[in-house]
Amino acid sequence: GGDIIPVNQETTAVVTKPAVSSGGELLDLLGGLDFGPRPSLLDGGATLGPMPGATPMMQMNDTTPPAPVAAPGGIPSITAYEKGGLKIVFSFEKIPDNPSNVVNITMTASNNLSIAMQEFVFQAAVPKTLQLQLQSPSGNVLPPNNGGTVTQLIRIANPQQNPLRMRIKLLYTLNGAAVQEQGEINSFPPGV
């Protein structure tokens, strides 16, 4: 089955599957999130936060994003979204001995198009039985040709250990045109 909702890339229209469950567990298409003006997190020239283990020269010359690897806890990374040049990878870190069953997810976004994605914003929603906390992103510009990434920490508490499901909304500007894409992720690795 498809884990990603198909999106018509030639317009900003979004195609979604109707919800199968009757409980409305996921927030209504992220309707409760604030879509007001976003503050610019970095000034125009800066696009990357520091990447552990990489020198600035390596960041600028590396044309491919690092391959997903299993986190120290042994949970493999997943490609959560890949369409229209935008790729979103989730890597996981389970917090041991935690009664709230907290997992940290690092979202890494990259852009393989020949033009930059400006004003990039990642948003997420989970069922109401889980608690979601999004930390500030490392930036809001995805350089062209996989020339850099934006990362953001997602912290989810799942005290009832329900299956994890997530809806995502991706907002960015491409050649001056606003783009909005959505998806749903239902196939998280075991142990998340």
Measured distance CA(28)–CA(149) in Å, rounded: 29
pLDDT of residue 74: 79
Instruction: Give mean pLDDT, residues 32-55.
Output: 40
The rounded radius of gyration (Å) of the Cα atoms in the chain is: 17
45-100 confidence digits (pLDDT tens): 333 334 444 433 333 444 444 444 444 557 999 999 999 999 999 999 998 888 88
pTM value is 0.65
Question: What pLDDT does residue 73 have?
Answer: 55
pLDDT score at 191: 81
The domain locations on the chain are 86-185
Q: Does residue 180 have a pLDDT over 90?
A: yes
Q: Is residue 43's pLDDT more than 60?
A: no
Query: What is the helix (H) or strand (E) element at residue 153, kind and residue range?
Result: strand 150-157
Q: pLDDT: is 152 or 96 the higher one? A: 152
- Report how far apart, in Å, the C-alpha atoms of 148 and of each of 44, 65, 68, 168 are: 14, 7, 15, 21
Res 97: pLDDT: 86
Residue 46 pLDDT? 37
CATH class assigned to 86-185: mainly beta
Average confidence (pLDDT) over 13-40: 42
| Residue 190 pLDDT class (50, 70, 90 cuts) | confident
> What is the per-residue pLDDT across 87-144, written as a single tens digit (0 to 9) for each?
999 999 998 888 889 999 999 999 999 999 999 999 999 999 999 999 999 999 999 9
CB 172 within 8 A of CB 179: yes
* Tally of CA atoms within 13 A in the half-sphere of 90 that contains its CB: 24
Q: Across the beta sheet with 78-83, what order do the strands follow?
A: 78-83, 86-94, 102-111, 150-157, 131-134
Q: What is the pLDDT of residues 153-167, one digit of tens each?
A: 999 999 999 999 999
Smallest CA-to-CA distance from 170 within 39, 19, 9 is with: 9
DSSP per-residue letters across 14-51: ---PPP--SS--S-GGGTTS--S----SS-TT------
Q: For residue 22, give both structure tokens.
A: 């009757």
- The chain-wide mean pLDDT, for the chain, equals 75
Give me the pLDDT at residue 192, please: 86
